[in-house]
Structure formats: structure tokens, C-alpha cells
Amino acid sequence: MFTLHDVTRQMDTRLAMGKRYFPAALTKQMLARSRPQVHERWAADDMISVADAATVVGAVPQEMRRWIAKGYCIGVKGPHASVRLPCWQFAPEVWPWVRELSRALGTTSGWAILGFLETPAGALDGRTPREALESGNPARVLQVACYQD
């Protein structure tokens, strides 16, 4: 399995050699090695279809797709461009903040937003931003999001 340590080591080596970018072949290799983990997360039990998400919020699937494209909710593409959404984003402690997180992170990429929400942060005492939102600390999560690269 390809680890963050492997990527960091390769990046450090390339930077020390004065090379700022990864060659396309190395990028393809890294992406290929991450596919099983990406598919596993996409297929996890907490992920629902666009149609199911629309039912949860009282919308139609086309509206959900527009919301995903605008960063109003988190949707991630999987095999054959099918999209799934983490159902927990519709919890009252999380849902009001998804759009603001998208803005603070400067992206509408569902994978980027999901990755941010599920990665422990030192600035949140080791909790994930999702855990911090669920425990009622949205201001701190937005503050941390504003400082992400």
C-alpha cells in the first residue's frame, strides 16, 4: 500500500534536487495505488445515493446535483462517475456548515471537503472537523478550514 510517508519522502527527495513537480508517470502511480481506498470510502455504509439524499432533504435528484456542483453539499464521484453522499452531512449539527466549509476551503470538490472533515487536526485537539462540528464547535472548524492549503 502507498503511504503518506512514501509520498512525503518522494516529495522531499524531488524538492532537494530542485524539482518542483512530479512527473506524470509518478502521479499516475500514486493515483493507481490509492484507488482501492477511494473505492472503499465511496462504497462505505454511511454513503447514500443522490436519490436517497434528495429524499432526506425533500429535494429532487437534479437539485441535489446542482447543490453538489456548487459545494452546498458533499458528493463524491466513484466508479462510472456515479455520485454518493455521506449521510451524516445532513445532521443538524453539520448541514448548516457544509456550504461555509466549501467556501472556506475554496473548493467544491466533494473528495477535498470529505477529506478535510475526516482528517484529525492538531488545531482541533486531534479531533476531526466532523467530530468538532458534531460537538457544537463550527466556528473553530471554519477557522481551521480558512487556513488549509
Residues 50-90: pLDDT tens digits?
Answer: 999 999 999 999 999 999 999 999 999 988 889 999 999 99
Q: What angle do CA 94, 56, 41 make, to 5 degrees?
A: 65
**pLDDT tens string 6-43:** 555 666 666 666 665 556 666 666 666 777 888 888 88
The pTM (predicted TM-score) of the whole model is: 0.78
What are the sequence ranges of the domains in the chain?
A: 1-42, 43-146
